[in-house]
Amino acid sequence: MRNSLAKLLLPVVFAVAAVSTAAAWSRHEDASVLAPTPPMGWNSWDSWGMTIDEAEFRDTATWFSDHLARYGWQYVVIDEGWFLQHPDNPAGQQGYTLSKDGLFTPAVNRFPSAADGKGFAPLAFWVHSLGLKFGIHIVRGIPREAVQQNLPIAHSHSRAAEAADTSDACAWNSDNYGVRDNKAGQDYYNSLFDMYAKWGVDFVKVDCISSPWKGAQIHMIDRAIAQSGRPIVLSLSPGPTPLADANDVVRSAAMWRISDDMWDIWSKSAGAPNFPQALKNQFPLIAAWEPWADSGHWPDADMLPIGYLGPHPGYGQPRHTRFTRDEVRTLMTLWSIGRSPLFIGTNLLKMDAFTEQTLTNPEVIGVDQNSQNNHAVSNKDNVIVWMASAPEHQGDYIAVFNTGDTPQSVTYTWQDLGIIYGRCPVRDLWQRQDLGVNNQITVSLAPHASALYQAQHP
């Protein structure tokens, strides 16, 4: 598609070399791709932090199954700290639960179905009975307690001290040491993912591994998943994942974070700390990573911190999201036109009507799941335009964003946007309304608002 707005293209992130590289990796796909479209699910972190228990999780998964699964939402994920008996206590007093082989296991006082020694297997089996997929969060590495006791590594002659790199620890989580790139290290990760496979885990979010890029451990985890015999989606966190490692990450993971944790903040000043990331700052990052978004490997712009965030959010006090309704819709529009994975952070048990409507618009979800040739077109005067192709030559998607603090009205003709057809039907995907036949779009946007259209080719 030719574009007469070429002079307004976003900077060098759209370089031809980058697109060629991404296309090359696309050709590397095979029939075993685990995530042919961006994964969609729910994660406990934004609302429960480390505190969710089995009853809360089961209630949440039931609501998820009843209200969201029909729209393509699939994964339910327990985030950090499921092996802590007392997650609210200070570090060092939380009570780790550890197997005789030095692996973290679910805290039985919080997850009573693990009391039979089968770990998360009973809970995963129940999740599967709902037609859903089950996921967990881990921090890279090997438990310090296992290293201090030099516990044996299952199904090997190795021991924990041989696998541990005591000079390498996560800067913000003291649970684990890093893992050496040696036989004992691979034995450890193999034993870990053998256990997860036995539990029936479908998705593992590995934290403190993507920034800085821990390539050796990522490769060990990738190999461990392969040898486990179970298809497990690998998600890497947090970002920003170095763009220089893009070729490596598409070989190794189904999704990877492109920024630090993003929360319900619209913008922050230049030079501010990476954490927390703001929504406005995601625009250039999503554009920079878009050439690598393809079947089986998806740049992850982070969870959707919308709706009610509580009772124990991973950042800040319990609250209804600080995003305005316009900002919530902009978040969902950007993630969809950029084909990011969609993971809900909302407390589903306190769902409000607007948030549920946002998450269950099949036409917007369809852009995230099915669009092609996604790319940013222009960025001028705080108005950003993205476009993508609808599947089966059914037209073009057009997303228009006002990132400024004042209202904006803009008009784009089909010629401006490189659309080769004349007058054709236009549909507003958020309003789910046909707007008639036209050869242009005109839109008035409030500050931080967006619109999403489909120009339907004849």
| pLDDT value at residue 8 | 36
Q: At which of 370, 390, 406 does a domain end?
A: 370
| pLDDT value at residue 24 | 32
| pLDDT value at residue 66 | 98
Same domain (yes/no): 266, 251? yes
Same domain (yes/no): 388, 312? no
pLDDT tens digits, residue range 150-188?
999 999 999 999 999 999 999 999 999 999 999 999 999
What region does 298 belong to: left with phi over 0, alpha with psi -120 to 50, or beta? beta
Same domain (yes/no): 381, 328? no
Same domain (yes/no): 89, 178? yes
Report whether pLDDT(15) > 80.
no
Q: Residue 411: which domain range? A: 377-455
Our count of domains for the chain comes to 2
Per-residue pLDDT band for 237 (boundaries 50, 70, 90) equals very high
Same domain (yes/no): 431, 342? no
Report whether pLDDT(30) > 70.
no
- Of residues 272 and 194, which shows the higher confidence score? 194
| pLDDT value at residue 10 | 37
Q: Are 387 and 371 in contact (CB under 8 A)?
A: no
| pLDDT value at residue 201 | 98
| pLDDT value at residue 31 | 45
pLDDT tens digits, residue range 441-452?
999 999 999 999
Same domain (yes/no): 421, 320? no
| Length of the chain, in residues | 458
pLDDT tens digits, residue range 246-301?
999 999 999 999 999 999 999 998 889 989 999 999 999 999 999 999 999 999 99
**Alpha-carbon Rg of the chain, whole angstroms?**
22
- Does residue 144 sit within a domain? yes
Average pLDDT for the chain? 93
Same domain (yes/no): 359, 410? no
**Sign of torsion, CA 252 42 279 14?**
positive
Same domain (yes/no): 394, 293? no
Report whether pLDDT(29) > 90.
no
pLDDT tens digits, residue range 328-387?
999 999 999 999 999 999 999 999 999 999 999 999 999 999 999 999 999 999 999 999
Report whether pLDDT(2) > 50.
no
pLDDT tens digits, residue range 16-28?
233 333 333 332 3
- Mean predicted confidence (pLDDT) in 378-405: 95
- Mean predicted confidence (pLDDT) in 25-40: 68
Same domain (yes/no): 414, 348? no
pLDDT tens digits, residue range 44-95?
999 999 999 999 999 999 999 999 999 999 999 999 999 999 999 998 899 9
Q: What is the CATH number for 397?
A: 2.60.40.1180
- Mean predicted confidence (pLDDT) in 113-128: 97
| pLDDT value at residue 18 | 33
| pLDDT value at residue 32 | 65
- Does residue 317 sit within a domain? yes
Q: What is the 3-state secondary structure (H, E, C) of the chain?
A: CCCCCHHHCCCHHHCHHHHHHHHHHHCCCCCCCCCCCCCEEEECHHHHCCCCCHHHHHHHHHHHHHHCHHHCCCEEEECCCCCECCCCCCCCCCCECECCCCCECCCCCCCHHHHHCCCCHHHHHHHHHCCCEEEEEEECCEEHHHHHCCCECCCCCCEHHHHEECCCCCCCCCCEEEECCCHHHHHHHHHHHHHHHHHCCCEEEEECCCCCCCHHHHHHHHHHHHHHCCCCEEEECCCCCCHHHHHHHHHHCCEEECCCCECCCCCCCCCCCCCCECCCCHHHHHHHHHHHCECCEEEECCCECCCEECCCCCCCCCEECCCCHHHHHHHHHHHHHCCCCEEECCCHHHCCHHHHHHHCCHHHHHHHHHCEEEEEEEEECCEEEEEEECHHHCCEEEEEEECCCCCEEEEEEHHHHCCCCCCEEEEECCCCEEEEEECEEEEEECCCCEEEEEECCC
pTM of the model: 0.92
C-alpha angle 282-287-288 in degrees, rounded to nearest 5: 100
- Does residue 1 sit within a domain? no
Q: How far is residue 380 from each of residues 80, 225, 330, measured CA to CA in Å?
A: 40, 45, 17
| pLDDT value at residue 457 | 86
Q: What is the CATH number for 313?
A: 3.20.20.70
Q: At which of 370, 394, 428 does a domain end?
A: 370
